[in-house]
Amino acid sequence: MQFFLDSAQIDEIRYALEMWDINGVTTNPRHVQASGKPFLTVAREIAQLFHGTGRPISVEVNPHHTDYRAMVAEGVKLAALSPNFVIKLPANEAGFKAIPLLAEQGIRANLTLVFSASQALQAMRMGAAFVSPFIGWKEANGEETAGFVREIVQIRDVYDYDTQIIVAAVRNARQIVDAALAGADIVTASLAVFKEAFDHPYTHEGLARFQAFWDQTEYE
């Protein structure tokens, strides 16, 4: 299981690289807007952090594009900025069409906003390097998600597609574990979600007890 950070904040990404050795980054227009910087500025700064690592960075094309040719043109422009860049495309007809056209030029695609196994299947059929099923939004609307991810994993494995599955819109530690149990390759989550997932109150309680025993014991 790989961990990607879902962020466009340079300080967060640097922290996650140093402390957690994250395997990659996913961004989206909301994260870029929150950074307060122009899109290309943020993209270049993230690329610099990952220079020479080979770790993937998902950057999204303009979400207003409705023509696959515009998606491909922007994808080519973005991919030229860094070999780490994976082009995020929406899971719609134009996005699906753009996948093999980018692949012909050696550019990987990540199909985002996937909310059904059939969308994931089409993305895999078209040769997506990554597919990103969103689970937080589905759970917020009362939909089951563990089986949803398992279905996508099973389809991928049955037909031996090369696509890696990034479970996205992850909101808590339980969802991270469920994604791992379902056989997903990657989870992407915010800094806050990972911080909470890597922590536990009993760890702090146990450490305090051990510290008390340590303080009452001679060292030599």
By annotation, the residues acting in catalysis are 88
Q: What is the DSSP letter of 134?
A: B
Nearest to 197 by CA among 75, 28, 66, 16: 16
In whole angstroms, give the CA distance from residue 89 to residue 65: 10
Question: Please, are residues 25 and 57 in contact by the beta-carbon 8 Å criterion?
Answer: yes
Nearest to 28 by CA among 53, 4, 1: 4
Question: Please, are residues 112 and 168 in contact by the beta-carbon 8 Å criterion?
Answer: yes
Question: Please, are residues 31 and 10 in contact by the beta-carbon 8 Å criterion?
Answer: no
How distant, in Å, are the alpha carbons of 200, 205, 207, 209 from that of 212? 19, 11, 9, 5
Tally of CA atoms within 13 A in the half-sphere of 131 that contains its CB: 30
